[in-house]
């Protein structure tokens, strides 16, 4: 594999930031988009790669790819409806590092031929599937980089749930890309936890006043969790403040126990908090604490998605302090970073609030931060000003 695939394999969630002037589904997005200015701005904002539409359906041309290549050395993906060796040769000459191959438009023989020809030009291929049948074909054809598009190209409807289910079916030796429908950090996080190495984002960036700033927002870490929610008005405030993860404690013994997981906005993820074992709920994720005799919960927890562990939560002991808490968490982050196949996601909880969350992030470098009791006016009732201040401080 080449440098496009290598860039997507880097630790953490990568982003392929797209340049397109219009979309068949949404019409004009950014008619004056200048690839020579946008591509380097994307690179500075943290893009692992840049996708450039070269097809006239998107008001794109090969000159757009050439302009992006002249302006940045970030890996470039040429996107169009490619079916011939001439398409691949033109892409290479225009500066592409990779090309898109649509399983919808190509039979198996064509895909194998184009993958081989692309490799001969030194190009990676992003082989894109839209449904289970196409994905099975891509896997069987040995595509090293597989994308799952959440958009139905016939109806243009977005189905992220179907996309997430398909992402989990891709073998771990492939590079996995979640395409379309990503407009918030939580959307990207959901794809990451389902198995995506990278997200491909186009329309959300092109619609934004500053595309590069929007990209930086989407890939920003740590994620921010507000836990111990029991009231709809507190859910609304936490989401409006910019929290990504909203937690509901389904442990009756807890002073901030919720009766159920409340509905959350589309741009957030719900987390059900349990002790011992996870039960049934409407949550996207389950946070399961260990059992500790005489205490409502054990110190630490594992975060699961559909029964699969996806992160570790490092907390303080129940109603106790530990002066070495941040150091302990930082040591875990460091240890996991040296484990090639290990789960590197650490959620830092315990005593965090507006006053110290920025210092905690600097000391630990967590994937997410989690606050609960420090944001309360009374057990289970949030202080809205503190919720907003905490999220703002965590964002930096």
Kindly report, residue by residue over 1-21, the tens digit of the pLDDT.
Answer: 799 999 999 989 999 999 999
Using the 3D structure, point to which of 219, 238, 256 is the last residue of a domain.
219
Do residues 150 and 252 share a domain? no
**What does the alpha-carbon distance between residue 91 and residue 273 come to, in Å, rounded to a whole number?**
49
Using the 3D structure, point to which of 200, 219, 238 is the last residue of a domain.
219
Helix 35-44 vs helix 62-71: crossing angle, to nearest 10: 50
Q: How many residues does the chain have?
A: 396
CA 306 vs CA 191, 206, 338: distances in Å = 13, 33, 26
Do residues 193 and 231 share a domain? no
Do residues 164 and 277 share a domain? no
**What does the alpha-carbon distance between residue 289 and residue 283 come to, in Å, rounded to a whole number?**
16
Count of domains observed in the chain: 2
CATH of the domain at 61: 3.20.20.70
Residue 194 is predicted with a pLDDT of 96
Contacts with 27 (C-beta within 8 Å, 6 or more apart), sequence order: none
**47: alpha, beta or left, given left = phi > 0 and alpha = psi -120 to 50?**
beta
Residue 177 is predicted with a pLDDT of 98
Do residues 173 and 317 share a domain? no
Using the 3D structure, point to which of 184, 201, 219 is the last residue of a domain.
219
**What does the alpha-carbon distance between residue 152 and residue 163 come to, in Å, rounded to a whole number?**
10
Do residues 25 and 37 share a domain? yes
Q: Which two tokens stand for residue 233?
A: 């008005």
Residue 342 is predicted with a pLDDT of 55
Do residues 165 and 233 share a domain? no
Do residues 53 and 71 share a domain? yes
pTM of the prediction?
0.94
Print the domain residue range for 48: 3-219
Do residues 170 and 269 share a domain? no
Do residues 184 and 308 share a domain? no
Do residues 214 and 265 share a domain? no
* Residue 272, SS3 per DSSP: strand
Tell whether omega for the bond before 177 is within 30 degrees of 0, i.e. cis.
no
Per-10-residue mean pLDDT, the chain, length 396: 94 95 82 95 98 90 97 97 96 98 97 98 97 97 97 82 95 96 96 96 95 96 98 98 98 95 98 97 97 93 95 94 95 85 84 98 97 96 98 96
In the block, tokens 């959901």 appear at 190
């Amino acid at each position: 594999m080449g440098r496009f695939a290598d860039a997507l394999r880097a630790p953490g969630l990568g982003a392929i930031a797209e340049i397109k002037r219009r979309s068949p589904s949404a019409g004009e997005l950014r008619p004056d988009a200048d690839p020579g200015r946008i591509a380097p701005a994307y690179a500075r904002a943290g893009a692992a790669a840049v996708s450039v539409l070269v097809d006239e359906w998107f008001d794109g041309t090969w000159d757009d790819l050439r302009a992006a290549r002249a302006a940045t050395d970030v890996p470039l993906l040429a996107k169009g409806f490619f079916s011939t060796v001439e398409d691949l040769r033109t892409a290479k000459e225009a500066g592409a590092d990779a090309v898109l191959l649509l399983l919808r438009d190509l039979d198996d023989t064509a895909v194998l031929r184009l993958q081989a020809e692309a490799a001969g030009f030194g190009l990676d291929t992003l082989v894109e599937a839209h449904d289970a049948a196409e994905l099975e074909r891509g896997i069987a054809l040995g595509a090293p980089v597989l994308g799952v598009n959440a958009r139905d190209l016939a109806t243009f409807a977005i189905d992220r749930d179907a996309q997430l289910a398909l992402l989990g079916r891709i073998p771990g030796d492939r590079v996995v890309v979640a395409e379309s429908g990503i407009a918030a950090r939580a959307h990207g996080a959901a794809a990451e936890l389902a198995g995506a190495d990278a997200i491909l984002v186009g329309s959300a960036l092109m619609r934004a006043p500053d595309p590069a700033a929007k990209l930086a927002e989407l890939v920003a870490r740590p994620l921010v969790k507000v836990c111990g929610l029991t009231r709809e008005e507190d859910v609304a405030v936490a989401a409006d403040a910019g929290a990504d993860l909203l937690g509901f404690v389904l442990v009756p013994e807890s002073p901030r126990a919720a009766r159920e997981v409340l509905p959350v906005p589309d741009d957030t993820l719900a987390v059900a908090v349990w002790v011992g074992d996870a039960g049934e709920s409407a949550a996207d994720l389950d946070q399961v604490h260990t059992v500790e005799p005489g205490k409502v919960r054990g110190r630490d927890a594992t975060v699961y998605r559909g029964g699969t562990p996806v992160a570790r939560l490092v907390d303080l002991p129940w109603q106790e302090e530990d002066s070495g808490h941040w150091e302990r968490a930082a040591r875990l982050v460091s240890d996991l970073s040296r484990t090639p196949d290990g789960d590197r996601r650490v959620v830092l909880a315990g005593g965090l609030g507006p006053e110290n969350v920025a210092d905690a992030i600097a000391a630990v470098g967590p994937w997410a931060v989690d606050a609960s009791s420090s944001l309360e006016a009374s057990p289970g009732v949030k202080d809205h000003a503190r919720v907003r201040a905490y999220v703002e401080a965590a964002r930096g």
